[in-house]
Amino acid sequence: MQQFKYPSVSVPIPSEKAKKIIQIDDEYMMTATKTSPLAIKRGEGIVLEDEDGNIFYDFTSGVGVCNTGHCHPKIVQAIKKQAENLIHFAGTDYYYEVQSILLKTLAELAPGNFKKKVFFTNSGTESVEAAIKITRFYSKRPNFISFIGAFHGRTMGSLSLTCSKSIHKKGFSPSMPGVINVPYAYCYRCPYKLELSKCNYYCAEIIEDLYFRHVVDPEDVAAIFVEPIQGEGGYIVPPKGFIQKIKEICEKYGIIYVSDEIQAGFGRTGKFFGIENFDIVPDVITVAKGMGSGLPIGGVIFNAKYDFPYKGAHSNTFGGNPVCCASSLATIDILINDGVIENARIVGDYFHNKLLDLKNKHELIGDVRGIGLMQGIEIVKNKETKDIAHAERDNIIEDCLNHGLITIGCGLSSIRYIPPLIIKKEEIDIAIDIIDKAITNVEKNKN
């Protein structure tokens, strides 16, 4: 696909060929979270081609996974090489070098001047489940705090921490007991109707001032789970002081600080871990998504003192799969040694400024927020009232798709832009032009 430089949609979406694929899916796949009638055939870099030859720029990275781009040659080579030697041998029960190297690499990359341990999983939600067990077992405390707007997964333990959409929990109650959800630092829509310049991070202070007095004793709280940037909640970037104050509260009461890096980690924000933008050191880090450049691998990196004192407390079968570990090591090599993380910072800043220009041009854009190549815009009916514009948001996403740009929604009425971290400024310019025209079209129809 290297000959295709620009997005090009010549066949309607979905085409007859795509409809046949969709029909099979709809008949046999459990109802899940399909968001677009796309039937993709192959990918390279930031480009995807569907079954009918339509060409798209992928501004989802496969929902935050393909940070190195689709089918990066070094990733493909690492997978092939490992698959020729060993595909599986239960890394929780036995030993093989590629897993050991990745364990050491991640422990050394994670912030904090203390010894760390690592456990490998197969997904983000499984990483969170492991973190729940690790922190509850070590602390001997029953309760957890997470934030409104947070997404930590959909399995029963992580679902209890998740609080981004009520539909996620509908029909599954009661979930794991002992979770308290508190408002996040969503400054654009402050739940307390305060101004950042005067609030002294009240959304953090209220945990100590109100919740610890009336809802839960701090000595019963095992951990606080925090996304450094809320993902499903709307790509909300909190003030640095909010994150720092949460960490101070944790330290004061012996509560374990868990940084959920499943969407913000592996270079997405221009730092290896998103929490590095906030100048604190977490006790536990959960990772997945971009960790394997498309292969299913996740993990928990944690202070070694939290490790279980005996074997058998937690395990799995496929975590640390050798092919996935090889892909992850290749991913880390590309991110660090090929300048991809630095590219995410530079191009991310460029992209952010371009989105700010669009905000000044369009009434529908109420807010622009993000760090690195984790950027989002919030669509509103009116900038003064900030009325949620869910339909308009969806129409913008659809218009972009029909002109060759794949995006995805989040939050109340936001659009997230998470292209592969190898993207170039000129490709950002092409995407911005598509976004600009899409918003213009929706604004015309709105009026």
Six token digits for residue 172: 């599954």
pLDDT, tens digit, 9 for 90 and up, residues 118-168: 999 999 999 999 999 999 999 999 999 999 999 999 998 999 999 988 878
Number of neighbours of residue 219 by Cβ within 10 angstroms: 12
- Segment 65-84 shows an average pLDDT of 98
Average the pLDDT over each of 172-176, 223-227, 276-280, 412-416 and give the range with the smallest value: 172-176
pLDDT, tens digit, 9 for 90 and up, residues 296-346: 999 999 999 999 999 999 999 999 999 999 999 999 999 999 999 999 999
pLDDT, tens digit, 9 for 90 and up, residues 375-406: 999 999 999 999 999 999 999 999 999 999 99
pLDDT, tens digit, 9 for 90 and up, residues 206-243: 999 999 999 999 999 999 999 999 999 999 999 999 99
Pair 148, 199: CB distance under 8 Å: no
User: Which comes out higher in pLDDT, residue 175 or 270?
Assistant: 270
User: Which comes out higher in pLDDT, residue 446 or 178?
Assistant: 178
Pair 345, 383: CB distance under 8 Å: no
DSSP character for 162? -
- Strand 256-260 vs strand 284-287: parallel, antiparallel, or unpaired? parallel
- 174 prior amide bond cis, ω within 30: yes
pLDDT of amino acid 215:
97
Pair 75, 334: CB distance under 8 Å: yes
Q: How far is CA 35 from CA 49, 125, 327, in A?
A: 17, 20, 27
Give the Cα separation of 55 and 43 in Å (integer). Answer: 10
pLDDT of amino acid 170:
82
Give the Cα separation of 419 and 218 in Å (integer). Answer: 40
Cβ burial 291-317 (10 Å sphere, 16+ → b, else e): bbbbbbbbbbbbbeebeeeeeeeeebe
SS (H, E, C) 15-70: CHHHHHHHHHHHHHCCCCCCCCCCCEEEEEECEEEECCCCEEEECCHHHHCCCCCE
pLDDT of amino acid 117:
98
Q: How high does pLDDT run on average in the chain?
A: 95
Q: In this model, does residue 440 exceed pLDDT 60?
A: yes
Give the Cα separation of 65 and 310 in Å (integer). Answer: 34
DSSP 410-436: ETTTEEEE---TT--HHHHHHHHHHHH
The pLDDT confidence band at residue 15, using thresholds 50, 70 and 90, is confident
Q: At what angle do helices 390-402 and 425-446 cross, to 10 degrees?
A: 130
- Segment 58-85 shows an average pLDDT of 98
Q: How far is CA 143 from CA 133, 212, 374, in A?
A: 11, 12, 31
pLDDT of amino acid 4:
54
3-class secondary-structure state, position 363: coil
Percent of the chain with pLDDT over 90: 90
Give the Cα separation of 96 and 424 in Å (integer). Answer: 37
pLDDT of amino acid 3:
47
Pair 135, 307: CB distance under 8 Å: no
pLDDT of amino acid 405:
98
- 14 prior amide bond cis, ω within 30: yes
The structure tokens 């930590």 sit at 152
Pair 289, 265: CB distance under 8 Å: yes
Give the Cα separation of 364 and 387 in Å (integer). Answer: 10
Return the H-helix or E-strand segment holding 124.
Answer: helix 124-139
Residue 399: phi and psi, rounded to 5, are -65, -40
Which of 65, 135, 140 lies closest to 327, judged by CA?
65
Task: List, in sequence order, the alpha helices (H) in 145-239.
Answer: 156-161, 196-199, 202-206, 212-214
pLDDT, tens digit, 9 for 90 and up, residues 161-190: 999 888 787 888 888 999 999 999 999 999
323 conformational bin, left if phi > 0, alpha if psi -120 to 50, beta if neither: alpha
Which of 289, 244, 239, 283 lies closest to 264, judged by CA?
289
pLDDT of amino acid 447:
63
pLDDT of amino acid 227:
98
Give the Cα separation of 159 and 129 in Å (integer). Answer: 9
